[in-house]
């Protein structure tokens, strides 16, 4: 009898529990989408109300209904988390209270964590989370940048070539900031840049004309080039390996040559190799000049002149062409071919008469010609012609006045003396033609 009664009581308790569950149970408690009984009705009702306000961008009215759904039935819709981000971004942007903004950002991060818990999507969620954390807390503490960096790295590891553009740009930016604050070393920041670079390049293979991808590539290149590691030895060690893997990747070669130039590493073999490869693939005035500069620094003046010639053929900007003509003049000066050097310097002056360097070069050509012009009646008259050019340089270009003055002071000491000039019937203020290859008219003047 007792055994039968106990069984009866057990069934009554079980029935009561079942009825209770029908009356209400939240989704957060039983893992269901909406919950059960009255709680499911409450969930669906608040879901509908908050969505209606959210569609109208009325986030203040949407919030109390959204909060109920977020707390009680977190599996009811992915929109809870999408809209929750919008709601909290709005609140953060509207507040001018630092403490409140910080608290709101904490909740924003919680929304991302909950979305990850219930819907996974690591690449998407961690990427958005990292971008938002940096957006709102970049200036608070380095720990938040580190956290955002970890989120972004996790996103990229999961997303690979499908990683979003904002995630890639923000990842490189965070990496550079951590490097500048000595939180990661130069090796890590280079690796991070290469990771982002490779993903963007893979995207561009599919969409080569996509303007956003081109803009993104330019942006992260500039960021890395301007703010990243500066030691030539480090850059050469890493990028020499990359160059072997990407010998025909024009985008990489453009970045690399620009980076090495910016970091004053243009005398490296890596720069020379990368520039030649880039010029073969995409002949341009700049790549030709890069090679010419390297060849010149290595004493290969004939090869340098050949590349300056190519640069002149490819260049359309007159100011830049003036620079390339000056480069040609410097090459011919080093080869001892003074007359040709002067011709190129004059071409440079013709294109940019306000630039003083070509005048200085001609003046130095004249000053170097004393031994070439010993047959002149006054061999030291070459220094009159030289100083004339130095004086012309400072008149044309005030930025080089100090340099020109120094040269004038130096070479004025070598002017012919009055006694020597007297025997040639040359007196102060006379016009004198400096012959030899120079063939310039000048005025006689003396130091004594």
Q: CA-CA distance, 172 to 48, in Å (whole number)?
A: 40
Residue 46: alpha-carbon gap to chain centroid: 48
Closest CA to 324 of 303, 342, 345: 345
Q: CA-CA distance, 227 to 24, in Å (whole number)?
A: 58
| 375 φ/ψ angles, rounded to the nearest 5 degrees | -75, -10
Q: What's the angle, vertex CA 212, arms to CA 211 and CA 217, rounded to 5?
A: 100
33-40 contacts, C-beta under 8 A, 24 or more apart: 33/73, 33/75, 33/76, 34/73, 34/76, 35/72, 35/73, 39/72, 39/73, 40/73
Q: CA-CA distance, 94 to 219, in Å (whole number)?
A: 29
Q: At what angle do helices 211-227 and 250-262 cross, to 10 degrees?
A: 30
Q: CA-CA distance, 214 to 201, in Å (whole number)?
A: 10
Q: CA-CA distance, 177 to 28, in Å (whole number)?
A: 40
pLDDT of residue 418: 86
Residue 190: alpha-carbon gap to chain centroid: 13
Residues of the chain scoring pLDDT < 70: 1-29, 31, 35, 448
| 359 φ/ψ angles, rounded to the nearest 5 degrees | -65, -40
Contact (CB, 8 A) for 108 and 88: yes
Q: What is the pairing mode between strands 431-434 and 36-37? A: unpaired
pLDDT of residue 26: 62
At 299 the three-state DSSP class reads coil
348's tokens: 């440079």
pLDDT of residue 27: 54
Residue that is written with structure tokens 């030691």 in the block: 231
pLDDT of residue 12: 37
pTM passes above 0.75: no
Q: CA-CA distance, 135 to 175, in Å (whole number)?
A: 15
150's tokens: 């970890």
Q: What is the pairing mode between strands 440-443 and 36-37? A: unpaired
Contact (CB, 8 A) for 74 and 32: no
pLDDT of residue 405: 96
Q: CA-CA distance, 318 to 350, in Å (whole number)?
A: 10
pLDDT of residue 358: 97
Contact (CB, 8 A) for 279 and 287: yes
């Amino acid at each position: 009898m007792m055994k039968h009664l106990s069984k009866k009581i057990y069934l009554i308790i079980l029935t009561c529990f079942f009825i209770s569950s029908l009356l209400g149970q939240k989704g957060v408690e039983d893992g269901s989408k909406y919950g059960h009984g009255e709680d499911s009705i409450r969930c669906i009702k608040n879901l509908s109300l908050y969505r209606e306000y959210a569609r109208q961008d009325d986030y203040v009215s949407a919030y109390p209904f959204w909060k109920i759904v977020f707390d009680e039935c977190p599996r009811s819709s992915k929109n809870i988390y999408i809209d929750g981000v919008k709601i909290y971004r709005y609140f953060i942007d509207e507040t001018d209270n630092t403490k409140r903004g910080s608290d709101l950002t904490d909740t924003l991060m919680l929304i991302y964590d909950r979305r990850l818990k219930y819907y996974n999507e690591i690449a998407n969620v961690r990427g958005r989370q990292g971008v938002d954390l940096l957006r709102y807390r970049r200036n608070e503490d380095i720990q938040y940048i580190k956290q955002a960096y970890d989120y972004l790295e996790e996103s990229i590891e999961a997303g690979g070539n499908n990683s979003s553009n904002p995630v890639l740009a923000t990842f490189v930016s965070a990496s550079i900031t951590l490097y500048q604050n000595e939180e990661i070393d130069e090796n890590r920041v280079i690796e991070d840049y290469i990771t982002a670079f490779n993903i963007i390049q893979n995207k561009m293979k599919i969409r080569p004309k996509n303007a956003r991808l081109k803009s993104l590539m330019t942006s992260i290149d500039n960021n890395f080039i301007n703010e990243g590691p500066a030691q030539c030895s480090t850059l050469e060690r890493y990028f020499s390996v990359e160059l072997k893997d990407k010998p025909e990747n024009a985008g990489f070669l453009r970045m690399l040559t620009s980076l090495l130039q910016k970091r004053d590493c243009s005398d490296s073999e890596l720069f020379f190799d990368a520039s030649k490869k880039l010029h073969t693939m995409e002949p341009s005035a700049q790549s030709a000049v890069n090679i010419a500069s390297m060849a010149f620094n290595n004493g290969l003046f004939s090869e340098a002149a050949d590349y300056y010639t190519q640069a002149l053929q490819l260049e359309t900007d007159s100011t830049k062409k003036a620079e390339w003509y000056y480069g040609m003049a410097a090459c011919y000066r080093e080869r001892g071919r003074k007359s040709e050097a002067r011709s190129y310097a004059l071409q440079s002056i013709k294109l940019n008469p306000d630039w003083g360097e070509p005048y200085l070069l001609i003046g130095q050509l004249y000053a170097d010609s004393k031994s070439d012009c010993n047959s002149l009646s006054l061999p030291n008259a070459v220094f009159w012609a030289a100083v004339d050019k130095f004086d012309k340089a400072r008149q044309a270009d005030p930025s080089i006045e100090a340099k020109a003055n120094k040269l004038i002071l130096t070479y004025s000491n070598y002017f012919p003396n009055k006694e020597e000039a007297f025997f040639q019937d040359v007196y102060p203020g006379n016009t004198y033609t400096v012959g030899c290859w120079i063939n310039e008219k000048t005025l006689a003047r003396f130091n004594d």
